[in-house]
Amino acid sequence: MHMSKRRAAVAGASGYAGGEVLRLLLSHPDVEIGAVTAGSNAGERLGVLQPHLVPLADRVLEDTTPETLAGHDVVFLGLPHGQSAVIANALPEETVVIDCGADFRLTDSAAWEKFYGGEHAGSWPYGLPELDGQRDKLAHATRIAVPGCYPTVSTLALAPAVAAGIIDATGIVVVAASGTSGAGKAPKPHLLGSEVMGSASAYGVGGTHRHTPEIVQNLSGLTDAEVRLSFTPLLVPMPRGILATCSAPTTVTAEEAYATYEKAFADEPFVHLLPAGVWPQTKSVIGSNAIHVQVTVDEDAGRLVAVAAVDNLAKGTGGAAVQCMNLALGLDETAGLSTVGIAP
């Protein structure tokens, strides 16, 4: 028996997260695209704002309101910080609402206030199925917070080591090089092509980036030990992709570390532990929901080093959102998603 298609709305369809959700839904076997909405871009055609989405070229963006988003099985929110709660509260409880923003990711109000400021809206089930026990919590959830892009790649790069207790979690260092789309589509001078091409830069240094407490929250859930993290994001000249270099003190060997990761990721459809000796490159995961991981141990330094690559807009945002939708709607977790990247 052929199941009728589920109907999805996308709010914030003119942005990068919304555009990526639409791109993925266009090839999803079980979903049809309903309302596509925007803020200041309402009234414009997608053919002008997202010209890569050819089948939607004639769609006109509606206003983002509870009314335009009503009547869908699932609603994806790709909104500026702080705007998700109002919309979500106005939608029926049984509607699956998947928030690509940060509003509902943190469970700790103090952390929220320190890093984001303002009142904490609360927390929703966290959309990282690869975290221990999380897949079950997402099945049939109706409110889901999609993880941040840095937290996804950093957490998965370190989770096996933290969970297995083979690193000293008080000495974690993550340096993550990101493409520019993670900063969104709102034009700012330092994100101009003229500024970013040919340049690498650091920002949010010294533990100030908002994704820091989210990574700590994720890793702390895997261990009773204290987690201390030095996180530095870099901006590098590419539109998509994050490469996270993660290390922590260890006493195990490279072989033990690799075996730990192999076991941890054995059944994960989207986490790909590379053959020993092959190190991740972001190009391999562009457009896909895969995350590539490699791990070794530097015995001179006494540190485990794990490197992971992800497409920040796909598995880092839009792909994760679709993966969570699949779980929430009881579909095949991998439906409409792929592990095949676009290279070169």
Footprint of a second copy on residues 186-205 (CB under 8 A)?
Answer: 187-189, 191-203, 205
Question: Out of 100, 149, 246, 324, which one is annotated catalytic?
Answer: 149
Q: What's the closest the beta carbon of residue 53 comes to a second copy, in angstroms?
A: 6
Of 67, 262, 298, 332, the one binding a second copy (CB under 8 A) is 298
- Closer residue to a second copy, CB minimum distance, 88 or 214: 214
Contact 41, 120 (CB under 8 A): no
Residue 338 is a binding residue for a second copy (CB under 8 A): yes
Q: What's the closest the beta carbon of residue 87 comes to a second copy, in angstroms?
A: 24
Q: What's the closest the beta carbon of residue 199 comes to a second copy, in angstroms?
A: 3
Site track 56-95 with a second copy (rule: CB under 8 A), x = hit: -x--------------------------------------
**Dist CA 311 CA 182 (whole Å):** 10
Q: What's the closest the beta carbon of residue 48 comes to a second copy, in angstroms?
A: 6
149 catalytic? Reply is yes
Of 5, 43, 55, 332, the one binding a second copy (CB under 8 A) is 55
Contact 11, 44 (CB under 8 A): no
Per residue, the 3-state secondary structure of 77-138, as one string, reads: ECCCCCCHHHHHHHCCCCCEEEECCCCCCCCCHHHHHHHCCCCCCCCCCECCCCCCCHHHHH
Q: What's the closest the beta carbon of residue 95 comes to a second copy, in angstroms?
A: 26
Contact 64, 12 (CB under 8 A): yes
**Dist CA 232 CA 178 (whole Å):** 11
**By CB under 8 A, which span of 41-49, 69-77, 118-126, 157-165 interacts with a second copy?**
41-49
Residue 26 is a binding residue for a second copy (CB under 8 A): yes
**Dist CA 237 CA 231 (whole Å):** 20
Residue 272 is a binding residue for a second copy (CB under 8 A): yes
Residue 324, SS3 per DSSP: helix
Residue 301, SS3 per DSSP: coil
Residue 241 is a binding residue for a second copy (CB under 8 A): yes
* DSSP label at residue 49: H
Residues identified as active-site? 149
